[in-house]
């Protein structure tokens, strides 16, 4: 680590050389520290006096930078590792031993259900339909499972502004015990935002670290809807949220952590991408990719990492900016 940057060193050198230190003398002469520093000016010859003063001030600059470096090093060492895995896409009988211990909550938006929806339903401990997402469960879930008994797939909560759910679907799930949370008074946020906010409020603090929210229907359809759903990842950057479609998943990698992504090659990859949105990254480093980044700068309008290839069973990422991670999903059923 450099103790003094070239710019600071040049600035200090110019400062101390200016008019043989006369400017420094005037500044110190007016300061409350002058009685202490007086012996540096009068008992010794002029050149020696300035040399001692420069040495003292140089030492102070070095000391300050050492303290800054130590603080930075402590920050780097104390940064926690966040582990990620798509094991929720695997059948329960095939869960790997090193799978992060997550509690899954499923949020269903009003888009066609992905092919692997039954797997997500089975993994989740809580299922929430965002408004018209209840229509999708009612209409499509029994067809996907060849089980015509609609009572088998009852969401615990239906939340949103209730402008998309059909009246018959609402009556059915209400009669089956689903909680109807009508947020029609709030038109300032999306249904997904309402659901995530509600999950955060309901989850005890001691359980939030292991909470992972799986969201279907967030990708595809209108682009402004997709952008709003991606924005939710940033609004709730302290929560682990995964957006899923038939083709890929997207999640946020917050800059507050180093990230280890365990690749489930039977269900995902090899194509992937990683990039910032909203704010540039001036330093991103990865391992485990075919084209790794090394202290790379990324921003829209310049270089971003797309169409990359997973080259290992573990990908690591560290960055000075929040990044989006996306990886392709295989043809799951």
**pLDDT tens per residue, range 31-81:** 544 454 455 444 545 555 555 556 555 556 556 655 654 454 444 445 799
Query: Could you give the residue range(s) of every CATH 2.60.120.320 domain in the chain?
Result: 247-333
What percentage of the chain's residues is helix, strand, coil (to nearest 5)?
Answer: 40, 25, 35
Ranges assigned E (strand) in 263-331: 268-275, 281-287, 296-298, 305-309, 314-319, 323-329
- pLDDT bucket at 236, cuts 50 / 70 / 90: very high
**For residue range 164-215, what is the model confidence (pLDDT) as tens digits?**
999 999 999 999 999 999 988 888 899 999 999 999 999 999 999 899 999 9
Q: What is the pLDDT of residues 275-317, one digit of tens each?
A: 999 899 999 999 999 999 999 999 999 999 999 999 999 999 9
Give me the mean pLDDT over the 319-325 stretch: 98
Residue 333 has pLDDT above 60, yes or no: yes
User: Measured between alpha carbons, how far is 275 from 298 in angstroms, rounded to an integer?
Assistant: 7
pLDDT on residue 185: 86
Contact 93, 111 (CB under 8 A): no
Round to whole Å and give the CA distance between 147 and 65: 67
Q: Look up the pTM and report it.
A: 0.76
Class of the 247-333 domain?
mainly beta
Identify the pLDDT of residue 44: 47
What pLDDT does residue 56 have?
A: 52
Rounded to the nearest integer, the mean pLDDT of the chain is: 83
Residue 89 burial class via C-beta count within 10 angstroms: exposed 0-12, middle 13-18, buried 19 and up = buried
**Where are the CATH 3.40.50.10240 domain residues in the chain?**
99-241
Of residues 294, 182, 197, the one with CA closest to residue 241: 197
Considering the domain 99-241, what is its CATH architecture?
Answer: 3-Layer(aba) Sandwich (3.40)
Give the pLDDT of residue 46: 52
The pLDDT value recorded for residue 75 is 46
Residue 148: what pLDDT?
76
pLDDT of 58? 58
* pLDDT tens figures, 92-117: 766 665 555 689 999 999 999 999 99
**Residue 331: band (very low, low, confident or very high) from pLDDT cuts 50, 70, 90:** confident
Residue pair 110/135 in contact (Cβ under 8 Å)? The answer is yes
């Amino acid at each position: 680590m450099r103790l003094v940057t070239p710019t600071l060193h040049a600035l200090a050198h110019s400062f101390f050389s200016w008019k043989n230190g006369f400017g420094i003398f005037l500044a110190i002469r007016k300061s409350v520290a002058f009685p202490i520093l007086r012996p540096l000016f009068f008992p010794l010859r002029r050149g020696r006096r300035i040399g001692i003063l420069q040495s003292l001030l140089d030492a102070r600059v070095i000391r300050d930078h050492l303290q800054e470096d130590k603080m930075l090093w402590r920050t780097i060492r104390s940064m926690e590792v966040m582990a990620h895995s798509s094991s929720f896409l695997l059948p329960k009988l095939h869960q790997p031993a090193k799978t992060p211990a997550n509690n899954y909550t499923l949020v269903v938006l009003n888009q066609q259900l992905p092919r692997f929806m039954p797997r997500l339903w089975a993994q989740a401990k809580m299922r929430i339909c965002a408004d018209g997402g209840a229509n999708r469960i009612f209409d499509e879930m029994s067809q996907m499972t060849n089980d015509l008994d609609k009572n088998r797939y009852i969401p615990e909560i239906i939340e949103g502004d209730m402008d998309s759910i059909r009246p018959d679907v609402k009556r059915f799930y209400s009669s089956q015990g689903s909680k109807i949370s009508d947020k029609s008074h709030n038109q300032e946020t999306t249904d997904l935002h309402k659901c995530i906010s509600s999950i955060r409020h309901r989850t005890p603090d001691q359980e939030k670290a292991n909470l992972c929210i799986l969201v279907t229907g967030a990708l595809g359809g209108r682009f402004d809807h997709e952008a709003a759903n991606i924005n939710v990842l940033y609004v709730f950057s302290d929560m682990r949220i995964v957006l899923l479609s038939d083709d890929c998943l997207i999640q946020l990698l917050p800059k507050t952590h180093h990230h280890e992504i365990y690749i489930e090659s039977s269900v995902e990859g090899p194509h992937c991408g990683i990039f910032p949105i909203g704010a540039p990254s001036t330093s991103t480093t990865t391992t485990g990719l075919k084209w790794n980044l090394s202290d790379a700068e990324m921003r829209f309008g310049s270089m971003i990492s797309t169409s990359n290839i997973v080259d290992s069973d573990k990908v690591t990422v560290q960055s000075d900016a929040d990044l989006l991670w996306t990886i392709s999903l295989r043809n799951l059923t």
